[in-house]
Amino acid sequence: MNPVLRDAVMQMVPFGSRVLDLGCGDGALLAHLQRHHGCSGYGVEIDDANVLACVKQGVEVIQLNLDQGLSMFGDQSFDVVLQIDTLQHLRNAETMLQETVRVGRMGIVTFPNFAHWPNRLSVMQGHMPVTRKLPFQWYDTPNIRVATFTDFLAMATKNQLTIKNAFGLHDDGVVRWWPNARAATAVFQLSALTS
Amino acid sequence: MSLIASPQSLLFEQPLQLQGGGVLRGYQLTYETYGELNAQRSNAVLICHALNASHHVAGEYANQDKSQGWWDNMVGPGKPVDTNRFFVIGVNNLGSCFGSTGPMHVNPDSGRVYGADFPVVTVEDWVSAQARLLDKLGVAQLAAVMGGSLGGMQALSWSLQYPQRIRHAVVIASAPNLNAENIAFNEVARRAIVTDPDFHGGHFYAHGVVPKRGLRIARMLGHITYLSDDVMNTKFGRMLQSGQDFKYSTQEVEFQIESYLRYQGDKFSEYFDANTYLLITRALDYFDPASAFQGNLQQALASAQAQFLLVSFTTDWRFAPARSREMVQALVANQRQVSYAEIDAPHGHDAFLLDDARYLSLVRAYFERILSETPA
C-alpha cells in the first residue's frame, strides 16, 4: 500500500484503536496498524484471494459484500471505521457512508479525486482519464462511483456529518491548498454530528 | 507413502452424567491419532465428526483398499491440517455405531443390548466425553478443535464448555442451532425408521433384523438436502436410467437421480445403525447454546475465549451462510478474534467435504497461523 496514504491514515487513527477496515484488500494496512499502532479489529473483504491473503498475514477478515450493508456490526462498536479507496466500488455509497459513522465513532474515507487536474485535462481533451490512481478504461472500470473532493464535501454536509479533517494527498504528501484540483486522493475524517 | 491409520479404544470407568438426566455408567471411546504430540503438548487438534462419519478421519487401513478416512483431503501429511506438524485426534462419538459405546452394545444395567434404551446424548455430552479422552491422552489444551456441520457444533460447544482448553475453533458449514426446516427433515427421517416394521421399537437386534427400509429413506432424504439444486441438475438432470423412452411405470427406476438415491440408501442401510441415526439427529435438534440465554447468541458466546475461523458455502441451504453469519456477528459483538469466509462453491452442504482450492488453501493458511503461534 502507498506509504503516503498509509501514514496519513495512521496519523488519524488513535493508538490502540478497535478498527473495522471496509474493503481491506490483502490486509496490509490493518496488519501495519496491529503491529505498529497497537490496533485490533477486522477487515471486511469480498474477494477470495484477498480473504486468503488476510488470513496468511494474521489479519482477522470477514468475507462480506458491502453492498449488503453493515447490519452485522453494532452502533458505535468500533473506534475507527476505514473506507480506504473503497467508496468508488460501492453501489450504495451514500448508505455506506451513513453506516460508517453509525458503526464507528470515527470514519476515515479516502477515494480517487476525479477533479485532480490531469483528470480534468484528459476530459477537456475529450477522454475519460486513465491515470495511475484511475488506471482503468471507462468500459472496464470497477469504479462505479467516481466523485470529486468537492462532491464528497457536499454529500457529507447533506448527511449532516461532522468533518473533522479533510485534505488531499499526492505522491509527496498532504495537499491542503486547493485539493479539489491538486490532489489525486481525497481524504476525509468524519463522525456523526451527534457524537 | 500414505498414512496408515489404526483405531484404538479406551475404557472409561467414571460415570458420565448426561445432559438429559441419564448416566452412562461406563463407556468406551474409539479413536485414531495421526502425527506426534510435541514435547510441549501444544500441537493437538481434535476433529469432530458429523452425522454418519467416525473416528476414521484420515489415512487408510493397512491392506484395505478404499479405506480412506472421511476427511482425508483435509487431514494428513502435507494436507491443510498437516499431520507432520500437528497431532490430530479423531474420536467416534457416544451413541454412534463405529466402535464407541452405542445402542448395539450391552447395557451393564440390564445385561441386554441397549437398543432404544441407549440414553439420549447431546452435543454437550459428546464434548464432555471428548475432554475425558484428551485427559487420558495427556492433552491439557488443544491448538484447535475443528468440525463441519454437526462437527462444527461440537467445536462451538468446546469453546463454551472448555474455553481455556482450546486456542482455536474451526467451525465449518455449521449453525448455532437447527431451524424448523432442518428439524423437519430430521423428523421425516426418524419417522421413516421408527415406522419400519423391522424397527421393533428399537430392539430389532433381538429379532435378527435391521430396519433397512427406514434407513434407506432417511438416507435418500438426507442426501437430497446435502446437495444443491444446481449440482443435482448438472449431475443428473432429467437423464433416464436406460434407453431414450419412458417405461411408463410407477415403480421401476426411471430417472438417474432415482437410481443414485436408491444406491446411496442401500449402501447406507448396510452399515449404519438405526438407533444411532435417531440419536444423532436428536443431538442436532437439541443443540442450541443460546437457549440458556433467552435465545441471545451474543450472551451465549460471551464465555468463549478461543480464536475462531468460520467457513460457509454459498449453495449450502441446509446450513446456510446466514447461520454462520449469526455466529460471526455474536463473536464480533463480544470482540472475539474471528475470521469468516463464504466460499462460492456449487456443491451445497457436501462442499465442506470436497476439494475446493479456495477452501483448502484457507484452512491451510489458518493452520499455518495456528502453528506460528504454537509454543514448540
What are B171-202's pLDDT values in tens digits? 999 999 999 999 999 999 999 999 999 999 99
Over residues A87-136, the pLDDT tens digits come to 999 999 999 999 999 999 999 999 999 999 999 999 999 999 998 888 99
Report if residue A138 sits inside a domain. Answer: no
Residue A41 belongs to domain spanning: 3-113+147-192
- Percentage of chain B surpassing pLDDT 90? 97
Residues of B whose CB is below 8 A from A63? 340-342
Q: Radius of gyration over alpha carbons of chain A, in Å?
A: 16
Q: What is the DSSP string of B127-184?
A: HHHHHHHHHHHT-SSEEEEEEETHHHHHHHHHHHHSTTTEEEEEEES--SS--HHHHH
Residues of A whose CB is below 8 A from B335? 18, 40
Q: Are strands B338-343 and B75-76 parallel, antiparallel or unpaired?
A: unpaired
**pLDDT reported for residue B123:** 98
Provide the CB-side half-sphere exposure for A58 (13 A, CA).
Answer: 13
Report if residue A132 sits inside a domain. Answer: no
Report if residue A127 sits inside a domain. Answer: no
**pLDDT reported for residue B133:** 98
Q: Nearest residue on chain A to B364, judged by CA atoms?
A: A56
Tell me the pTM: 0.96
pLDDT band at B243 (very low <50, low <70, confident <90, very high): confident
Q: Nearest residue on chain A to B310, judged by CA atoms?
A: A62
pLDDT band at A193 (very low <50, low <70, confident <90, very high): low
Report if residue A126 sits inside a domain. Answer: no
CA distance A59 to chain B (A): 8
Q: Do B344 and A48 touch (CB under 8 A)?
A: yes
When scoring B362, B363, B371 by the number of chain A Cβ atoms within 10 A, the one with the most, hence best to mutate, is: B362
Cα–Cα distance, B228 to B316 (Å, whole number): 7
Q: Nearest residue on chain B to A65, judged by CA atoms?
A: B342
Does the CB of A56 have a partner CB in chain B at under 8 Å? yes
Q: Nearest residue on chain B to A77, judged by CA atoms?
A: B333
pLDDT band at B375 (very low <50, low <70, confident <90, very high): confident
Catalytic residue numbers of B read 149, 316, 349
Residues of B whose CB is below 8 A from A40? 335
The CATH number assigned to the domain holding A21 equals 3.40.50.150
pLDDT band at B149 (very low <50, low <70, confident <90, very high): very high
Across the range B17-25, mean pLDDT stands at 94
**pLDDT reported for residue A192:** 83
How many CB atoms are closer than 10 A to CB B206? 10
Average pLDDT, chain B: 96
Over residues A38-91, the pLDDT tens digits come to 999 999 999 999 999 999 999 999 999 998 889 999 999 999 999 999 999 999
How many CB atoms are closer than 10 A to CB A58? 18
Q: Do B339 and A61 touch (CB under 8 A)?
A: yes
CA distance A69 to chain B (A): 13
Report if residue A120 sits inside a domain. Answer: no
The structural domain count of chain A equals 1
Collapsed DSSP state (helix, strand, coil) of residue B332: helix
Q: Do B365 and A52 touch (CB under 8 A)?
A: yes
Cell numbers of B217, please?
Answer: 429413506
Give B61's contacts (C-beta < 8 A, 6+ positions apart): B4, B5, B6, B67
Amino acid in position B22: G
Residues of A whose CB is below 8 A from B309? 55
Over residues B304-343, the pLDDT tens digits come to 999 999 999 999 999 999 999 999 999 999 999 999 999 9
Does the CB of B296 have a partner CB in chain A at under 8 Å? no
- Pick the more confident residue, B68 or B2: B68
- Pick the more confident residue, A1 or B371: B371
Instruction: Give the closest residue to B146 by CA, choosing from B78, B84, B85, B71.
Output: B71
Collapsed DSSP state (helix, strand, coil) of residue B214: helix
Give B112's contacts (C-beta < 8 A, 6+ positions apart): B106, B206
Across the range B20-42, mean pLDDT stands at 96
Report if residue A128 sits inside a domain. Answer: no
Cell numbers of B83, please?
Answer: 499431520
Q: Do B342 and A77 touch (CB under 8 A)?
A: no
Report if residue A129 sits inside a domain. Answer: no
Strand partners, A20: A42, A81
Residue A58 has its nearest CB partner, among B325, B343, B369, at B369
Q: Do A51 and B368 touch (CB under 8 A)?
A: no
Report if residue A133 sits inside a domain. Answer: no
**pLDDT reported for residue A195:** 47
pLDDT band at A172 (very low <50, low <70, confident <90, very high): confident
Residue B99 has pLDDT above 60, yes or no: yes
Residue A1 has pLDDT above 50, yes or no: yes
